[in-house]
Amino acid sequence: IKIEKELSSLYKRMFEPLHVPPELFQRLTGQFCNIQTLKTGQTYAAEDKTSVDDRLSILLKGKMKVSYRGHFLHNIYPCAFIDSPEFRSTQMNRGEKFQVTIIADDNCKFLCWSRERLTYFLESEPFLYEIFKYLIGKDITNKLYSLNDPTLNDKASKKIDRQPSLCSQLSVMQMRNSMASTSDSEDGLQMFLRGTSSASSL
């Protein structure tokens, strides 16, 4: 089974190590999803305007910048979910809006699923459902670390060191749509929030 060239690196980096068969990955990416592009400066999601209900995406190429009320939060790089916190936090609450703005910092290409159809598909594939739950949980944890120290991802963001009050004034849940407030305890995200001093300082 041949995997599309544009998706091969995504499969090898995220799904193959978790023993997802190529045929299952092909089913996952061959239905109810497509590859979309954004040019530098175009918006993926606008704060308080864009609905979180429609889609779930993974960045394939380029870089995206996440901000909150004009303040830089963190970057998104290839093979990372773009909107995993919103997907997790609103699984039970529809009609929510993004609480952050996500803009293409380069020419970007991303894999985009219809959220509703993806949810139905995962319900019929218990193994893949668990894989997604793990990948999304890991992705959210990575974003939490990025929020705590954005300089780890981009040297240019060192300017935020001069604004330490931003992260101290805003909780992680406020910044990324209550991304861990409704997470499953078995994912360890609540433990991460309660048990790490870095998250507490946020």
pLDDT at res. 5: 85
pLDDT digit string, tens, across residues 7-49:
999 999 999 999 999 999 999 998 788 999 999 999 999 999 9
pLDDT digit string, tens, across residues 154-201:
444 444 333 433 443 344 445 454 443 433 434 444 443 444 334 334
* Percent of the residues in the chain that have a pLDDT greater than 70, as a whole number: 71
* Percent of the residues in the chain that have a pLDDT greater than 90, as a whole number: 53
Segment 125-136 shows an average pLDDT of 94
Please say whether the dihedral angle defined by the alpha carbons of residues 130, 74, 13 and 25, taken in this order, is positive or negative: positive
pLDDT digit string, tens, across residues 45-77:
999 999 988 899 999 999 999 999 989 999 999
What does 35-80 look like in DSSP terms, one character per residue?
A: EEEE-TT-EEE-TTTSBSSSEEEEEEES-EEEEETTEEEEEE-TTE
d(CA 50, CA 23): 33
Task: Give the residue from 98, 44, 53, 52 showing the smallest Cα distance to 76.
Answer: 44
pTM listed for this prediction: 0.74
Tell me the CATH class for 34-149. Answer: mainly beta
Domain boundaries, the chain: 34-149
Segment 100-121 shows an average pLDDT of 94
